[in-house]
Amino acid sequence: MDVEKKVLEMLKPKREEYELIENVYKKIAEKIEEKASSSGIQVEVTLQGSIAHDTWLSGDRDLDIFVLFPLTMTLEELRAKGFNILLEAAKEIGRYELRFAEHPYVRVFLNGVEADLVPAFKVPDPGKIVSAVDRTPFHTEYINKTLTPEDKDQVRLLKKFMKTIGVYGAELKTKGFSGYAVELLVAKYKSFRKILEEASNWEIPIFINTLENVDWEVFKKKLRRKYPDSVIYMPDPVDPLRNVTANVSLKTLSTFILGARCYLNSPSIDFFNAKPQPISIDEVVKHSTNRCLVVLKYTLSDPPPPDVLWGELQRVETNVVNLLNNRDFEIMDSSTWTNEKDVAYIILEASLCSIPEYKLYIGPRVTVRERSESFISKHSQNEYGPWIGKDGRLRSLRKRRTYSIVDALRELASEYNSPPHLKPITPSVSRLHLEIAEEIVEKGGYAWLVEFVLKKPSWMAKCTG
């Protein structure tokens, strides 16, 4: 039995899983319809997402329930009255959480199933959407019309492969491929293998034509104008000027391209098994002994919605890297992680944790009169110099205010800590040590920490055959 057949046996949901999902959906739908009816509002409760498309994986317990409200309501009424109907239903269903995207929705938990209850408008066609979620039912219609049962198994393989190598999910946490993007790739290329063969030869930027009867060269220019920063373009057949892969980052795309090559070079079940490398935390810390690994820790008391939190963390990470590089700390790698509840971390690796106490400034040659005079004036109060080097250029040494990376991060916090939800929090800063490593593991960040420290995901070991 080849690798993909063996994997598919594990990925396809069992009959009892379908029954569980159907029963949970039925209970939730009945409760929502009851609450809507008592409010005098006619709604249509619909199942969307991968379960509605039948492209979900065994073990998944996530329901996307979209409640479609009439267009006679305003957007404000949808967010108030519509959301309140879902909230009242959730209170009687079981445990629930409030969530926020373009507008608020409710996440409920029932019999081990996690269901998102999303208010949306029932619109006649995608050109009349009021909010982004109104487009979703048309995605379901398109996928169920386009994909065969065999195609849907290919979607399962590609999803699991992407999850294992860390490129699945369009949220800011991952900046990868959405479930719908995976389905469109299968609709285009028909098989898991064919997609990997195509991807292994991609050159960035990538354009994938999912449309019919269009002048593709003209349309590519339109997409490029609308999404100038994208690295991969795949138009939505339901809403053609929307790039389904707009959120895919260069790192994520590069990971997928390399992962595709590695799998084709050496097919293995390891590409569908997302277990982190088995290594003790003591060993992880030992790997950092002669390296400069620095951790910024944020203690969160009232975290914003996950996408907001990840976005702000990534902004701080960018700020930190830029500030440190500008101060001659060479940052070789950086990453962020949060459990989205009470803690967030940024980890950096620098070439050195301490740089020379004095900074060398190199000026112009003395033959460039105005610039050389300006340099002398500007650097005359430095500890050493100006002097003339053997190349005829002026030089000067100035003592740095900070030459320890940990001290610099503590002193510069007000400069890099600009996003609104993180600005009031002063991060703790320290070199990576056993206590902070154990804390990261306790909070759920073991796989993240191991991959950052060891620098090689387990699947990459297969890249050399």
Residues 196-227 pLDDT 10s: 999 999 999 999 999 998 999 999 999 999 99
In a domain, 235, yes or no: yes
Please name the residues in contact with 263: beta carbons below 8 A apart, sequence gap of 6 or more. Answer: 161, 196, 271, 462
Q: What is the mean pLDDT of residues 445-465?
A: 86
Task: Looking at the structure, tell me whether residues 289 and 322 fall in a common domain.
Answer: yes
Mean pLDDT (the chain, rounded): 94
Task: Looking at the structure, tell me whether residues 221 and 331 fall in a common domain.
Answer: no
Q: Which residues of 102-117 are buried (b: 16+ CB within 10 A; e: fewer)?
A: ebbbbbbbbeebebbb
Ramachandran angles phi, psi of 210, nearest 5°: -105, 10
Any idea what DSSP says for residue 155? Answer: H
Q: What is the mean pLDDT of residues 344-365?
A: 96
Task: Looking at the structure, tell me whether residues 311 and 420 fall in a common domain.
Answer: yes
Task: Looking at the structure, tell me whether residues 424 and 394 fall in a common domain.
Answer: no
In a domain, 326, yes or no: yes
Task: Looking at the structure, tell me whether residues 268 and 309 fall in a common domain.
Answer: no
Please name the residues in contact with 136: beta carbons below 8 A apart, sequence gap of 6 or more. Answer: 48, 49, 64, 66, 118, 120
In a domain, 335, yes or no: yes
Domain finish residue from 88, 111, 144: 144
Task: Looking at the structure, tell me whether residues 433 and 298 fall in a common domain.
Answer: yes
Task: Looking at the structure, tell me whether residues 366 and 345 fall in a common domain.
Answer: no
Task: Looking at the structure, tell me whether residues 457 and 439 fall in a common domain.
Answer: yes
What is the structure's pLDDT at 104?
86
Res. 254: pLDDT tops 60: yes
Question: Would you list which residues are annotated within the binding site for Mg(2+)?
Answer: 62, 64, 116
Q: Which CATH number characterizes residue 118's domain?
A: 3.30.460.10
User: Which tokens go with 100?
Assistant: 């926020």
Q: Provide the domain count of the chain.
A: 4
Question: Would you list which residues are annotated within the binding site for ATP?
Answer: 50, 139, 159, 168
Give residue 78's Cα distance to chain centre: 29
Alpha-carbon distance of 184 to 377, in angstroms, equals 63
For residue 182, the SS3 value is helix
- DSSP H helical ranges for 244-296: 250-265, 281-287
Domain finish residue from 144, 164, 186: 144
Res. 277: pLDDT tops 80: no
Res. 1: pLDDT tops 70: no
In a domain, 242, yes or no: yes
Confidence of residue 273 (pLDDT cuts 50, 70, 90): confident
Q: Which CATH number characterizes residue 164's domain?
A: 1.10.1410.30
Task: Looking at the structure, tell me whether residues 234 and 247 fall in a common domain.
Answer: yes
What is the structure's pLDDT at 305?
87
Confidence of residue 29 (pLDDT cuts 50, 70, 90): very high
What is the structure's pLDDT at 100?
80
Task: Looking at the structure, tell me whether residues 298 and 428 fall in a common domain.
Answer: yes
What is the structure's pLDDT at 278?
81
In a domain, 209, yes or no: yes
Alpha-carbon distance of 426 to 435, in angstroms, equals 20
Task: Looking at the structure, tell me whether residues 332 and 362 fall in a common domain.
Answer: no
**Cα separations (Å) of 231 from 60, 134, 248, 249, 396?**
30, 26, 7, 7, 43
Q: What is the mean pLDDT of residues 427-439?
A: 97
In a domain, 436, yes or no: yes
Residues 283-341 pLDDT 10s: 999 999 999 999 999 999 999 988 899 999 999 999 999 999 999 999 999 999 999 99
What is the structure's pLDDT at 275?
74
Res. 102: pLDDT tops 90: no
Could you tell me if 137 and 129 are in contact, meaning their C-beta atoms sit under 8 angstroms apart? no
Question: Would you list which residues are annotated within the binding site for CTP?
Answer: 50, 139, 159, 168
Task: Looking at the structure, tell me whether residues 112 and 191 fall in a common domain.
Answer: no
Alpha-carbon distance of 361 to 396, in angstroms, equals 5
CB atoms within 10 A of CB 10: 14
Confidence of residue 465 (pLDDT cuts 50, 70, 90): low
Phi-psi bin for 169: left (phi > 0), alpha (psi -120 to 50), beta? left
Question: Would you list which residues are annotated within the binding site?
Answer: 50, 62, 64, 116, 139, 159, 168
Q: Which CATH number characterizes residue 313's domain?
A: 3.30.70.590
Q: Which of 120-129, 361-370, 441-450, 453-462 has the lowest mean pLDDT?
A: 453-462
Domain finish residue from 241, 272, 303: 272
In a domain, 6, yes or no: no
pTM strictly above 0.85: yes
Residues 139-183 pLDDT 10s: 999 999 999 999 999 999 999 999 999 999 999 999 999 999 999
Residues 53-92 pLDDT 10s: 999 999 999 999 999 999 999 999 998 999 999 999 999 9
In a domain, 5, yes or no: no
H-helix or E-strand spanning residue 64? strand 62-69
- Supply the range of the domain harboring residue 118: 12-144
Question: For residues 223, 227, 232 and 235, what is the CA-based torsion angle, rounded to 10 degrees?
Answer: -40
